[in-house]
Amino acid sequence: MDNRKITGKKEKSRRKIMHAAKYLCEKNGIENVTFHDIAEEADVCRTTVFNHFASTDQLMIALFCQEIEDIDEYCSEINCSGMALIEAVFDKLIEDTAYYPVLTYKIASSTILRGGGEEKSLSYIEKMIADNLPRQYREQKELYTVAIMGAYYGLVNHYHSLHKHFDAEQMKEEFHQLLRLIFGGGEK
Protein backbone atom coordinates (compact mmCIF):
# COMPACT_ATOMS: atom_id res chain seq x y z
CA MET A 1 0.00 0.00 0.00
CA ASP A 2 1.17 3.53 -0.78
CA ASN A 3 2.59 5.28 2.34
CA ARG A 4 1.02 8.58 1.24
CA LYS A 5 -2.42 6.97 1.44
CA ILE A 6 -1.70 5.67 4.95
CA THR A 7 -0.35 9.05 6.09
CA GLY A 8 -3.26 10.89 4.46
CA LYS A 9 -5.82 8.57 6.02
CA LYS A 10 -4.13 8.80 9.42
CA GLU A 11 -3.98 12.61 9.26
CA LYS A 12 -7.62 12.77 8.15
CA SER A 13 -8.59 10.56 11.09
CA ARG A 14 -6.54 12.70 13.49
CA ARG A 15 -8.17 15.93 12.26
CA LYS A 16 -11.61 14.33 12.51
CA ILE A 17 -10.90 13.37 16.14
CA MET A 18 -9.57 16.83 16.95
CA HIS A 19 -12.60 18.53 15.38
CA ALA A 20 -14.95 16.28 17.36
CA ALA A 21 -13.01 16.98 20.55
CA LYS A 22 -13.18 20.77 20.02
CA TYR A 23 -16.92 20.59 19.40
CA LEU A 24 -17.65 18.39 22.41
CA CYS A 25 -15.34 20.25 24.80
CA GLU A 26 -17.00 23.54 23.92
CA LYS A 27 -20.47 22.05 24.16
CA ASN A 28 -20.04 19.97 27.34
CA GLY A 29 -16.89 21.31 29.00
CA ILE A 30 -13.46 19.68 28.85
CA GLU A 31 -13.95 17.81 32.10
CA ASN A 32 -17.17 16.21 30.83
CA VAL A 33 -15.82 14.71 27.62
CA THR A 34 -14.45 11.19 27.37
CA PHE A 35 -12.52 9.46 24.61
CA HIS A 36 -15.64 7.34 24.08
CA ASP A 37 -17.67 10.53 23.42
CA ILE A 38 -15.01 11.81 21.03
CA ALA A 39 -14.86 8.50 19.17
CA GLU A 40 -18.62 8.45 18.80
CA GLU A 41 -18.75 12.06 17.53
CA ALA A 42 -15.84 11.45 15.12
CA ASP A 43 -17.37 8.18 13.97
CA VAL A 44 -14.23 6.18 14.78
CA CYS A 45 -13.58 3.47 17.32
CA ARG A 46 -12.25 4.40 20.77
CA THR A 47 -9.00 2.58 20.05
CA THR A 48 -8.39 4.91 17.12
CA VAL A 49 -8.60 7.90 19.45
CA PHE A 50 -6.06 6.26 21.79
CA ASN A 51 -3.81 5.46 18.83
CA HIS A 52 -3.57 9.19 18.14
CA PHE A 53 -3.64 10.55 21.70
CA ALA A 54 -2.51 8.73 24.84
CA SER A 55 -4.34 11.12 27.16
CA THR A 56 -6.76 14.02 27.24
CA ASP A 57 -3.84 16.27 28.12
CA GLN A 58 -1.99 15.16 24.98
CA LEU A 59 -5.12 15.85 22.92
CA MET A 60 -5.45 19.36 24.42
CA ILE A 61 -1.81 20.12 23.62
CA ALA A 62 -2.36 18.89 20.05
CA LEU A 63 -5.42 21.15 19.72
CA PHE A 64 -3.44 24.15 20.91
CA CYS A 65 -0.46 23.37 18.66
CA GLN A 66 -2.87 23.03 15.74
CA GLU A 67 -4.27 26.46 16.56
CA ILE A 68 -0.78 27.97 16.43
CA GLU A 69 -0.05 26.17 13.15
CA ASP A 70 -3.33 27.44 11.67
CA ILE A 71 -2.42 31.00 12.66
CA ASP A 72 1.05 30.58 11.18
CA GLU A 73 -0.39 29.24 7.89
CA TYR A 74 -2.91 32.08 7.77
CA CYS A 75 -0.15 34.66 8.25
CA SER A 76 1.94 33.04 5.50
CA GLU A 77 -1.03 33.14 3.12
CA ILE A 78 -1.81 36.81 3.66
CA ASN A 79 1.88 37.69 3.30
CA CYS A 80 2.20 40.78 5.46
CA SER A 81 4.53 42.06 8.15
CA GLY A 82 4.80 44.71 10.83
CA MET A 83 1.67 45.85 12.61
CA ALA A 84 -0.47 44.37 9.84
CA LEU A 85 0.88 40.92 10.76
CA ILE A 86 0.36 41.50 14.48
CA GLU A 87 -3.23 42.55 13.81
CA ALA A 88 -3.77 39.53 11.53
CA VAL A 89 -2.44 37.12 14.17
CA PHE A 90 -4.86 38.40 16.76
CA ASP A 91 -7.77 38.77 14.36
CA LYS A 92 -7.42 35.06 13.56
CA LEU A 93 -6.95 34.15 17.22
CA ILE A 94 -10.01 36.20 18.20
CA GLU A 95 -12.12 34.57 15.46
CA ASP A 96 -11.17 31.13 16.75
CA THR A 97 -11.69 32.22 20.36
CA ALA A 98 -15.17 33.54 19.50
CA TYR A 99 -16.06 30.19 17.92
CA TYR A 100 -14.67 28.10 20.81
CA PRO A 101 -14.43 30.60 23.72
CA VAL A 102 -14.31 28.23 26.67
CA LEU A 103 -12.04 25.67 25.03
CA THR A 104 -9.57 28.22 23.65
CA TYR A 105 -9.32 30.00 26.99
CA LYS A 106 -8.84 26.78 28.97
CA ILE A 107 -6.28 25.34 26.58
CA ALA A 108 -4.28 28.59 26.48
CA SER A 109 -4.45 28.93 30.28
CA SER A 110 -3.35 25.36 30.91
CA THR A 111 -0.55 25.76 28.37
CA ILE A 112 0.66 28.86 30.21
CA LEU A 113 0.55 27.07 33.56
CA ARG A 114 2.24 23.95 32.17
CA GLY A 115 4.92 25.96 30.43
CA GLY A 116 6.13 25.82 26.85
CA GLY A 117 8.00 22.85 25.54
CA GLU A 118 5.96 22.41 22.40
CA GLU A 119 7.48 23.56 19.14
CA LYS A 120 4.61 25.92 18.41
CA SER A 121 3.44 27.42 21.68
CA LEU A 122 2.52 30.85 22.96
CA SER A 123 6.19 31.76 22.80
CA TYR A 124 5.90 31.34 19.02
CA ILE A 125 3.17 34.01 18.90
CA GLU A 126 5.21 36.23 21.20
CA LYS A 127 8.20 35.90 18.86
CA MET A 128 5.99 36.82 15.88
CA ILE A 129 4.90 39.95 17.74
CA ALA A 130 8.42 40.95 18.82
CA ASP A 131 9.80 40.38 15.31
CA ASN A 132 7.12 42.54 13.71
CA LEU A 133 7.04 45.53 16.01
CA PRO A 134 7.75 48.83 14.28
CA ARG A 135 11.38 49.91 14.72
CA GLN A 136 10.65 52.64 17.24
CA TYR A 137 9.22 50.04 19.67
CA ARG A 138 11.86 47.32 19.31
CA GLU A 139 14.09 48.67 22.08
CA GLN A 140 11.35 47.69 24.53
CA LYS A 141 10.00 44.77 22.50
CA GLU A 142 9.49 42.51 25.53
CA LEU A 143 7.29 45.08 27.25
CA TYR A 144 5.25 45.73 24.11
CA THR A 145 4.87 42.01 23.52
CA VAL A 146 3.61 41.52 27.09
CA ALA A 147 1.20 44.45 26.66
CA ILE A 148 -0.21 43.05 23.41
CA MET A 149 -0.60 39.52 24.80
CA GLY A 150 -2.12 41.01 27.94
CA ALA A 151 -4.61 42.98 25.85
CA TYR A 152 -5.79 39.74 24.20
CA TYR A 153 -6.09 37.85 27.48
CA GLY A 154 -7.68 40.82 29.19
CA LEU A 155 -10.27 41.12 26.45
CA VAL A 156 -11.11 37.41 26.55
CA ASN A 157 -11.25 37.46 30.35
CA HIS A 158 -13.53 40.52 30.21
CA TYR A 159 -15.96 38.69 27.93
CA HIS A 160 -15.87 35.57 30.10
CA SER A 161 -16.30 37.36 33.43
CA LEU A 162 -19.21 39.49 32.19
CA HIS A 163 -20.77 36.54 30.31
CA LYS A 164 -20.78 38.61 27.14
CA HIS A 165 -21.52 36.99 23.79
CA PHE A 166 -18.26 36.30 21.95
CA ASP A 167 -18.81 38.36 18.82
CA ALA A 168 -15.62 38.09 16.75
CA GLU A 169 -16.09 41.37 14.86
CA GLN A 170 -16.82 43.35 18.03
CA MET A 171 -13.89 41.74 19.82
CA LYS A 172 -11.52 42.49 16.92
CA GLU A 173 -12.63 46.12 16.92
CA GLU A 174 -12.04 46.36 20.68
CA PHE A 175 -8.66 44.68 20.34
CA HIS A 176 -7.60 47.17 17.66
CA GLN A 177 -8.62 49.97 20.04
CA LEU A 178 -6.44 48.39 22.71
CA LEU A 179 -3.53 48.27 20.26
CA ARG A 180 -3.98 51.98 19.58
CA LEU A 181 -3.88 52.63 23.33
CA ILE A 182 -0.73 50.54 23.73
CA PHE A 183 0.99 52.42 20.94
CA GLY A 184 -0.15 55.83 22.12
CA GLY A 185 -2.85 56.26 19.51
CA GLY A 186 -0.20 57.06 16.91
CA GLU A 187 0.28 55.72 13.45
CA LYS A 188 1.19 52.06 13.13
The confidence band for 5, taking pLDDT boundaries of 50, 70 and 90, is low
% of the chain at pLDDT higher than 70: 88
Please give the average per-residue pLDDT across 20-28, as a whole number.
87
pLDDT value, residue 158: 94
pLDDT value, residue 187: 46
Alpha-carbon distances, residue 136 vs 5, 83, 188 (angstroms): 50, 12, 10
- Residue 149 above 70 pLDDT? yes
Give pLDDT tens digits for 154-175. 999 999 999 999 999 999 999 9
What's the burial of 152, exposed, middle or buried (CB within 10 Å: 0-12/13-18/19+)? buried
Q: Of 16-25, 133-142, 179-188, which one has max mean pLDDT?
A: 133-142
Please give the average per-residue pLDDT across 13-32, as a whole number.
87
Please give the average per-residue pLDDT across 126-140, as a whole number.
94
Give pLDDT tens digits for 72-99. 888 889 989 999 999 999 999 999 888 8
pLDDT value, residue 26: 81
pLDDT value, residue 22: 87
Alpha-carbon distances, residue 135 vs 56, 84, 101 (angstroms): 42, 14, 33
Closest listed residue to residue 68, CA positions, set 89, 85, 95 = 89
* Cα–Cα distance measured from residue 44 to residue 16, given in angstroms and rounded to the nearest whole number: 9
pLDDT value, residue 185: 74
DSSP structure class, residue 33: -
Alpha-carbon distances, residue 163 vs 22, 72, 160, 177 (angstroms): 20, 30, 5, 21
Mean of all residue pLDDT scores within the chain: 86
